[in-house]
Structure formats: C-alpha cells, structure tokens
Structure 1
Amino acid sequence: MANFTISRCNFPFIFLLSSFYFLTLTLIAEPISSSGPKPLNNSSNPNFDSEITLLGDAALAGGGSYVNLTRPWVSSSGLLLRRKPFKFLDGNLSNPTSFSTEFAFSMTPDGGDGLLLVFAPGDLGSRLSGKGGPFGIKGDNRFLGIEFDTDMNGDMNDLNANHIGVDVGSFVSLAVGNVSKLNLVLNSGEKLKCWIDYDASSKRLEIRLGKMDESRPYAPISAYGIDMSGMWRGEDVYVGISSSNSNGNSSQISSVYSWNFRLRNVPKSMHSLPVNPRGYLDGHGESLSVQKRGVCPLTVLAGMIFVTGCGALVAFVMLFLWAIIISRHTEFPAEFCPKPAEFRYEKIDVVVEKDVDGIKY
C-alpha cells in the first residue's frame, strides 16, 4: 500500500516533467514560426501602404506601430510582402515603369544577415525560408535585391560588415556602398531611413541612406545602371522586404517602421533612352546599350540655326578685334599750323626806247 501511495503522488510531477522535456525538444528542433500570411491593417497603421502581408516570423510589435521581421533565434526569417504585383512594361511592351520607395528600419547588434529589398517574378512568398539562403530568400536567379548587409563574406564581394549592395541573380554584389562613410552603422539599433529610386528613362537605380529624422540626402550612397524592364518585360513582379538569421549564432531582430512604394509610368515618347530588352545589364553595371533613333527634322533645323548663330558671333568678334589691331598700328600726319610771313614789294620802272628805225628796245 505504501508503494502504491508514493507512485500516485509522484505521477503528476513525472507527467509534467516529461511534458516539459518533450516541449523543449520540439522548440529546439524547430522554432515557432507563423508562416501563414497575415494581412497588415493599413487603417490602424498609416505608416505602411495597403496591400501588405506579413509572412514567416514577421509580426506586429509595439502595439501594432511597427513590424519585427525576425525573432531572436537561429533560422528565423520573415517577409513584408506587397501582395499586389506590377509590371515593368505594360501590355503593349511600350511604357516602362519607374518606381520610388522609402522605408525606415533598425537592426539589433546581434549577429544576422541584415535586410533585403527584393524584386522577383512569380510567388515571392514561396521563396521565404530561414535555411534556404541569405536574407531568408531561396529559389532561382531571377531576382533583384538591395541588401543592407551586416555580415562580412568575402565570397559575396562584401566590402565590410556595414555596407549596401546591389544583387542581380545572386548575392554576389555588383555595386557596393560603404555605410561607414556616412558615419552610420546598420546594426546599431538606431532607426535609419532608405530612399530607393529607379528611373526607366535613364535606366538608373539610386540608393540613399540617412537617419530616420533627417531629410533625404542629395547624393546617393550607391548608383547602378540596369534596365529592369528588360529583365521581366510584361511579367508580374512582386516586391518585399525580408530578413533572416541563418548563421549559427544569429539572434538579430530586424524591424521595419514604415514602408511606402510608388509606381510611375512615363510615355515612351518622353524617354531619353529607348528600352533595349536584350541589354538590361552590362558587365560592370555602368554603361547601357542604346538603340539608334531616326533623325528629326526639327533637330536638324535647330542645329542649323545654332551653327549659323555661332558663325555670326565668331565673325563679329573677329571684325571687332581686327578693328582694334589696325587702329593701333596706323600713323596719321601731324596737323600743319601755318605761320605768317613778311613780303616786301619793290617798284620797277621799265623804260622803252626806240631806235632810229622805230624798233622798240
């Protein structure tokens, strides 16, 4: 009887201990992740655009005032996705699309991959994976990313552990901006703000960075030449902000405080550079192939008027200089001043004589 009583008393304790043990093993094996899409209520948070969804570990924080993309454990990843796609070329493949976006963010000093603004065709949400690659993005090479990297990896052309890079098709950065030159640290926990602009007419991508309470900088920290219209033509393209902790000791928390994304469509007739879908990217990301355009009669007329005006101006200047030079080397005779002179007059008597023959002498 005594043994039976003891076993009954210990049973609840053993059961609780066993439950706690199995729960601990489950948490260690696979962190809690809310992978299902969660729409962000824009009416309660005007700092974010509408049509935004939270995926992975991304969740509202601070009473719904901002979003944490990651949680402080290994293999945590999250995505802030704009679930409404857009096209870089319209249905007629004529009017390229430009965009401007700005977002405020912060990253804790703990180890982590950093932050990535990513563009990709198809289902971007299906590429989210904490173990699939840097910044939690996996899949094929058809993507464009602007990385805010807090990890130094020489194989990825990383400048340091505090840089911005432009990635096309891989995470080997083709253009790198040194954030340290701005006296900023990406993973200092300070709130920073980024402005990214793409102009379809010049095919130029510009990235600016500053503190959250400062105005937009004049000079970009990095600029890159690329024809995004040629990359995806009329395909549906999605854009999102992702982050992950893929390293063994990563516990970084990446937070986003605001995000606005705007599209601009400019008629093809106003583009300074025509679209060349086959030359969307050159070897160094600086020069772009340009198609030849027909000669415009108005352009020819304007050129002739300009040349004529320049010729007339040059002729006038030469005549003016010639007149100055000639006037310096011409000698004029001195002015003659007449002086009074005295004259003396004498009276001469002429005597006429006749000879005998009557001839006068």
Structure 2
Amino acid sequence: MRSPLFQQILLCVLVFPVLATSIDDDDFIFHGFRDATTNLSLNSGAEIMQGGLLKLTNNSMRQKGHAFFRLPLRFHANTTISSFSTTFVFAMVPTYPKLGGHGIAFTVSPSKDLPWSLPIQYFGLFNVTDVGSPSNHLFAVELDTIQNTEFGDIDDNHVGVDVNDLRSVDASTVGYYSSSDGFKNLSLVSGEPMQCWIEFDGARKRLNVTLAPLRAPKPRVPLLSSHVDLSDVVLDSAYVGFSSSTGRTTSDHYILGWSFRMNGEAREIDLSKLPALPRRGPKEKPKALTIGLPVILSFVVVAAITGVGFAAHRKVKFAEVFEDWELEYGMHRFAYKELYSATRGFQDRELLGVGGFGRVYKGMLRASNAAIAVKRVPHDSRQDVREFIAETASIGQLRHRHIVRLLGYCRREGELLLVYDYMPNGSLDKLLFDESKTMTLGWKQRLRIIKDVASGLLYLHEECGQVVLHRDIKPSNILLDGEMRARLGDFGLARLYDHGTEPQTTTHVIGTFGYLAPELTKTRKANTATDVFAFGVFVLEVVCGRRPIAPIDESEMGLLLVEWVLLHWMRGTVVETVDANLHGDYAAEEVELVLKLGLLCSHPKADERPKMRQVMRLLDGEMPLPDVSVNRMNASARCKGYDELMVSPDNGPTQYSIDTESLLSGSCC
C-alpha cells in the first residue's frame, strides 16, 4: 500500500501542469508555456524561456522558428470543413527601434516540421519553388513587419490572410476599431504585447481577424472579415501553431499565451497569469535634462503658447466626420491628414481626372510608400450616406486579380474620400480614343484585356459571396495596371444581392447609354444578363475602335455599333469592322470569333445571351461558338429599346443616375 506522502507527491506531479495549462485534443489553453514542453513541438530557433515565454526567434539574422501543438487535429466533419477559433497574446521586440523582421504567422499546416522552408520573407512556411503551389495545403494569418513587393504587401505593418501563398488574399494595415474613437493604428514592432483573435466559420466560409492592445477589450468590429474557402486547402489531419522568421533586420518574437478550440469559441486568456516580457534595460538620463532643464522649460512654454493658434487651425483643416454606426461595417478608414499629405494637399499637378461625381488624385502613402488614387466625392447630408457606406464596405471586400481594389475611405463635412489602388496606365478609354495617345494597343493586348474583364465579371457574378452587378461596364471604367492587365473599376452603380434571389426593380434606368440592354426600358431590373449585354458592346468597341453610338459613315449614320457589326456579319464581311489602327496585324479567325461573341453577348433577347462562365470558356477555346442565326439577331429589336431610352424624361444624354447610388460614378483612377 502506497504511503500518504507518496500519494501527495504523485498528486502534485499530475495536477501541477494542469494549473498552468488546460489541454484537450481540440480545445486547449496555455497561460504561459513553462509546463508546455510535452504539449508543443518546437524546432529551428523556437524555445521556451525560463519564465514561460515562448520565444520563436531571437535577434539572430535569417532565422526561423516553429511551435506547433503536439497532435494533429481533424479539420473535416463528413464533407465540410470544421470551424475553429483561436486567440493568442504576442509581442515583437525589434533589435533596432521601428525596424522589424519579419514577423509571426498563425499557421494550419499538414506538417509540424516544415524542414524545406526558408526564413526572411518566406516566414518559415515556404521556399522559392513551392510558394503559391496548391499542393502546400497550408493556411496562415501573417503579422508582417516588412513590405515585400514580390508578394504585393500593402505596407510594412499589416495583417495578411495567406492560402498556399504569401501573396495574401486579403490584408489590412494593423489597427483596431475602438467603440469610442473609431479606427486606431497599432505598430507591430512597438515592443508591447497585443492580443489577436482568429475565427473561422466553416459553414459560411468566413474568416474574422481582430487585434487589440493587451488590456483593451475585444473590439466588436474585426480588422479583417474575409470570404475564404478552406475546404480544399486544409487537409483532414493538420497541425496548428506558429511560424516566425527574421532577415537582415531582426526581432525577438514572443507568444505569451494561446487558446484554441475546434467548433467553438476559444476560451478567454487570463491576462493576469501571463509571463512578463524581458526588461529592455534602463536608459541613462540625458545630461541635457539635468543641466539645461530650466532653459528647455522656458522654450516649451513659449512654444506651447505659439502653438495653440496653429493647433486650432490644423484641427479645423483636418476635421473629419465620424458616427458610431460606421464601426458596423469594418471598412478601413484613412485619416484625412494622411490622404492630404499623400496627395500633396490635393494639388492640381496630382489630379488624374474628373469623373462624373468627383475629382481623382494620385497619392503616395508615406508610411508604406504605396501609390494610391483618392477620389473626392461631394455629398449632401440629406443623402443616405449610411446605405452608401454599407454597400461600399461590401464592395471593399472584393478581391480579384482583375478588380480594382477599394482600400478604404474617409469622411469629412460635405464630402467622401475613397481610396483605391493606383493604376499607372490609366483607363482603357484613353488608349482607345484619346487623340493625344502615345501608343496603339495591338491585337494580342486587346484580346488579353477582353479576357481580363471577362474573368473579373465571372468573379462578380458567380465566385464571390454575393452576386455583384456592375451596371456600368465601359472602357472608361476599365483600368490598366503596370503590366497592362485590365481591372474592372468604378463600382458606383453596383448592386449586390444573394445567390439564388432576384435583384430589386429600380425607379430609374441606371447606366450609360449605348451599353443598356433593351429590356431595361420595361423591367427596370438589372441582372447578370444586362451586365453581359454591356460586356458584349464593350467587346465590339475594343475590337472595332469605335464608340457604341458614334456615326459610322454617311451612308450608315443611324446605325449603332452593334447594328453595324451585325450588318457586316450578314454580308459576310465582319472582319472589315476591325480597328484600322491594327493594320491587319491579327488572326482573322480570332477576330471573327471575338466579334461574333460580342454580338451574341449583346443579343436583344436576354435568355439568348451566354453566362460569363460560358464566355470565358469560349475565349479560352474550351468550347465552340454556338451556331446563332443572323435572323434571330435583327436590329429592330435593339432599336426599340434604345428609342424608348432616348425619349425618357428621366434620363440625360449619357449617364442616368442622379442619386446616392451613383456617388462613385466616373473613372476611379
């Protein structure tokens, strides 16, 4: 029989670790890691310090560190991806102030070793050859302190959502939404501990990432809320943990506490039980404070008196409007002072253009050295700004290679400022029709632009969380990036509705004359088919180099572009409609297919138009063009709808929206 003393010793050995941590296979919490060596798998530079801090990397250059929970977790229930929730407290202490390197990533990985991975910009997750490969089956949320242009980082202080790649599918500058003060910036390399919450809803495929200072309550509005489908990314059996790396600049990367739960909300971390960060050493008091303190104080008093008036002036100059309801939408809000500085005070020399409802300026964010386009949109307080902000926030969640990204906004008295990615090559409209243009687009470029826009429309109609109707597809709303790839911009007339539902009927016909489907005059209801119609007109415009309603020649003055191309199709001379600036440098078969596709998309009957997925397959050569009879595309069906639009008293000669739903109208970059 065991002695009472032996039983007490055994009880202490078994129970003491549980006092520090609570462990289950899919629900665990660590208040420090002093007794977690058997529950964590550490490799590379990761170690548990004497006080219980988990140190992922030290101040050595080009180092990586991994710390994973010891057992793999099951991430699939039947055929669906499971939900999970985690929260952790971390700190990054840079070797040199404000110079981080490179950061920390919460990771769901098929392996807990990752021996092939590299440090520096690869975060200890990937290497040169496998980054971006679907076979990685790796998901991460990165806390990144270095701006890597090869991965499209937005700045050197951001949170990014990574799926098999370090080119984030969504990202935001680090900060949090305070219930009283709106958005407040945070610095990852401040050396101060912060708390992060990551919550994934498997059923809704929704990922929320939230940050806050250590003692602040969890914000109601997440920093990021992204639609992410991990069903085919995360394997059924995977490990959860952290990866970290350094480069030429270094930081000590710490995890102070960690809580995780599968299919439920992670337990709250008790901050009072967390280990303390190492002291960074006392600083010697500068001699100036002891010798010249009276002189310094006198200068301070004078400066304070002088600065009162200046501060009051600046307060008025940079005053913003903020209301509590804006927090509901979680869209990044820029400070007006930041945008004023980025655009050099909105000087005329930074003016990119004037759209239907605002002036657009080029800017350069000083913190990240990122080029932006800022649109200043006047607004009347009587307009429904709240509805506009809600829809703009939804559009701001769109992420696609061929969609101009809305980065955020700012509100002032009497105006809204909308911030976009800057497109250095401007609008397609200028390259097609500006008499002062310095270059002519070749056929291969035009075909690629058409495919890019089709890809962006397919995403809007079928591949994002809601159906997004653009409602104003035309060359002036197609922007070209530095690689001459097309991006669909200006979502001022866009409308969103859930998949499987019907869009609402509108009071006015919304859009631009020449691109409006004939049925809009009767139904007043936009849908994906009306977007396809506008896309068809756009295709003809790009190939022919002609406006949709400009006179063709004296003998055909009354014909619209689509009718003119149709007439040539009937005559068997459709290739003769190609832009003369191409000088015959194209494949006739390709041109004929694209022209006929444009006519098919702009068919007068909505149910005859293809879906955008079919359009993409046709452009990629994956299916043949349907055999469409010319007689079924007679011009009279087109003209009837246009005639009604031209006499409608509601509509102006070009664009038909005059209320809040058109606030973003015009070229955005």
TM-score, length basis structure 2: 0.32
Paired letter, 2:122: P
After superposition, the Cα gap between the structure-2 partners of 1:42 and 1:107, relative to the gap in structure 1 and judged at 3 Å, is farther
Q: Which residue is 2:261 aligned to?
A: 262
1:287 and 2:464 are equivalent in the alignment: yes
Kindly report which structure 2 residues correspond to 1:1-361, keeping only aligned pairs within 5 A, or say none: 44=20, 46-47=30-31, 51-61=39-49, 63-90=50-77, 92-93=78-79, 96-110=81-95, 111-121=100-110, 123-127=111-115, 129-131=117-119, 134-138=122-126, 140=130, 141=133, 142-179=137-174, 182-232=184-234, 235-245=236-246, 247=247, 249-264=248-263, 283=400, 287-288=464-465
Whole-Å separation in 1 of the counterparts to 2:215 and 2:119: 35
1:55–1:81 contact (8 Å) kept in structure 2: no
Structure 2 runs not aligned, ≥5 long: 1-16, 22-29, 176-182, 265-397, 402-458, 468-497, 501-669
CA contact (8 A) 2:45 2:63 kept: yes
Partners in 2 of 1:44 and 1:160 — Cα distance?
Answer: 38
In 1, the alpha carbon distance for the partners of 2:18 and 2:115 equals 25
CA distance, structure 1, for counterparts of residue 153 and residue 466 of structure 2:
28
Q: Residues of 2 paired with 1:75 and 1:136: CA distance?
A: 10
3-state DSSP class of the match of 1:210? strand
| 1:132–1:185 Cα change, 3 Å | closer
Q: Deviations over 1:254-282 (max 9, x none)?
A: 000001110017xxxxxxxxxxxxxxx98
Could you tell me how far 1:167 is from its partner in structure 2?
A: 1.1
Maintained 8 Å contact 2:102/2:120: no
Count of equivalent residues:
232
SS at match of 2:232: helix
**Counterpart residue type for residue 147 of structure 1:** E
Give me the TM-score of the superposition, normalised by structure 1: 0.57
**d(CA) in 2 for partners of 1:162 and 1:143?**
22
Are the counterparts in 1 of residues 56 and 66 from structure 2 also a CA contact under 8 Å? yes
Q: Could you tell me which amino acid in structure 2 is paired with residue 156 of structure 1?
A: F
**Cα RMSD for the two superposed structures:** 3.1
| Local SS of the residue matching 1:81 | strand
Gaps of 5+ in 1: 1-40, 266-280, 294-361
AA at the equivalent of 1:119: V
- Offset, 1:168: 1.1
The answer as to whether partners of 2:62 and 2:120 remain within 8 angstroms in 1 is no
Deviations 1:13-53 (A, max 9, x none): xxxxxxxxxxxxxxxxxxxxxxxxxxxx6655541586322
User: Per the alignment, in what secondary structure is the counterpart of residue 66 of structure 2?
Assistant: strand
1:205 is paired with a residue whose SS is: strand
**Sequence identity of aligned pairs in percent?**
30
How big is the shift at 1:252? 1.1
Distance in 1 between residues matched to 2:399 and 2:185, nearest whole Å: 32
The answer on whether the counterparts of 1:105 and 1:192 sit within 8 Å (CA) in structure 2 is: yes
Asked if the contact 2:170–2:399 (Cα under 8 Å) also holds between the matched residues in 1, the reply is: no
Q: Distance in 2 between matches of 1:260 and 1:48?
A: 11
Q: 2: distance between equivalents of 1:112 and 1:225?
A: 29
* Matched residue type, 1:183: N
Q: Distance in 1 between matches of 2:117 and 2:499?
A: 45
Q: Give per-residue Cα distances to partners, 1:291-328, cap 9 Å, x unaligned.
A: 999xxxxxxxxxxxxxxxxxxxxxxxxxxxxxxxxxxx
Question: C-alpha displacement at 1:132, in angstroms?
Answer: 7.9
Cα deviation for residue 118 of structure 1 reads 1.3
Q: 1:236 to 1:102 in 2, by over 3 A?
A: same
Residue-by-residue CA offset, 1:190-209 (whole Å, 9 max, x unaligned): 10000000011211000000
CA distance in 1, matches of 2:120, 2:254: 21
How far has the Cα of 1:223 moved from its partner?
1.5
**Cα 1:292–1:162 shift into 2, 3 Å:** closer
Task: Quote the Cα distance in structure 1 between the aligned partners of 2:18 and 2:121.
Answer: 30
Q: Which has the higher contact order (CA 8 A, sep 6+)?
A: 1
Separation of aligned partners in 1, 2:115 and 2:226: 25
Per-residue deviation, residues 121-147 of structure 1 (Å, max 9, x unmatched):
2x2313464548521122643211111
